[in-house]
Amino acid sequence: MSDEAPSHAVEGRPAGDLGRRITQRRTELGLSRQETAAQAGMAPAYLQYLEERPGADPGAGTLLRLAGVLRTTVWHLTGGDTELPPGLGRAARAPRFAELTEAECRALLATHGVGRLAVAADAGPVVLPVNYSVVDGAIVFRTEPGTVLAEADGRQVAFEVDRVDEAFSEGWSVLVRGPARAVTDPDETARLDDQAYSQPWVGGRRELWLRVEPVAVTGRRITV
């Protein structure tokens, strides 16, 4: 397929697995569609087609150029690693390991997303993923009463979030420790409903808010 825009290219939201992955990755890197297309040697309209047209099937050369510009792999762009945990790649030739400052940790936490909550539940220690937000410096997330996550109320917990760049063997992780409590004040609940960014992927109302107050915040980063 050529890099010219097909006559049926459309405008709108990313569609199809490839389009969503391209759009997400260039957004993470702060690249516009025009910048990405220029660096990959293709017309912006063709990149728009790849992002917005379900079933777009570019050639291997196009995928390789895009993967290079987006600092990732063709395997990732095409969804080959969807069911695999991150970090399977080899370490870089000369990795650098550094401790993050608390300010750096809090800045990374504030990007929101999915983290893991560790809690000593009644049946024993568990670690579960949660969609979280940061409001007033605290980690907040929704759950349902009676769940294992709800057992975190009134207990000391640990919360971890990380990011792994498989293509470049780079990444970071942040660990937060502190008490968790259920939010019972109606005004605070309404404020969290209004200000929190992340919604639970599992769906449902999930009306119980839990709040983790950071007492210790540490992190580390591996770069090449």
The pLDDT tens digits of the residues spanning 125-146 come to: 999 999 999 998 999 999 999 8
The pLDDT tens digits of the residues spanning 201-213 come to: 676 678 899 999 9
Write out the two tokens for 188. 């605070």
Whether 179 has a pLDDT exceeding 90, the answer reads yes
The pLDDT tens digits of the residues spanning 94-127 come to: 778 899 999 999 999 987 788 999 999 888 899 9
Which has the closest alpha carbon to 131: 182, 200, 62? 200
In the prediction, which pLDDT does 11 show? Answer: 38
Whether 4 has a pLDDT exceeding 50, the answer reads no
Average pLDDT, the chain: 84
CA pair distance 218, 44, nearest whole angstrom:
41
Which has the closest alpha carbon to 134: 115, 111, 151? 111
Residue 115 backbone zone (phi > 0: left; psi -120 to 50: alpha; other: beta): beta
In the prediction, which pLDDT does 214 show? Answer: 96
In the prediction, which pLDDT does 12 show? Answer: 44
Q: Pick 81 or 67 by higher pLDDT.
A: 67
Q: Pick 7 or 204 by higher pLDDT.
A: 204
Residue 147 CB coordination number (10 Å): 13
What is the CATH T-level fold of the domain 96-223, as seen in this structure?
Answer: Pnp Oxidase; Chain A (2.30.110)
Query: 16-77: what CATH class?
Result: mainly alpha
Q: Where in the chain is the domain with CATH 1.10.260.40?
A: 16-77
Confidence of residue 91 (pLDDT cuts 50, 70, 90): low
The pLDDT tens digits of the residues spanning 23-54 come to: 988 988 899 999 999 999 999 999 999 999 88
% residues pLDDT > 70 (the chain): 83
DSSP state string for the chain: --SSPPTT---SS--HHHHHHHHHHHHHTT--HHHHHHHHTS-HHHHHHHHHSTT----HHHHHHHHHHTTS-HHHHTTTTTTS-S--SPPPSS-EEEEPPHHHHHHHHTT-EEEEEEEEETTEEEEEEEEEEEETTEEEEEE-TTSTGGGGTTSEEEEEEEEEEGGGTEEEEEEEEEEEEE---HHHHHHHHHH-----TT-S---EEEEE--SEEEEEEEE-
For residues 81-105, give the mean pLDDT. 75
Bridge partners of 170? 165
Q: Where in the chain is the domain with CATH 2.30.110.10?
A: 96-223
**Residue 18: what are its φ and ψ, rounded to 5°?**
-60, -45
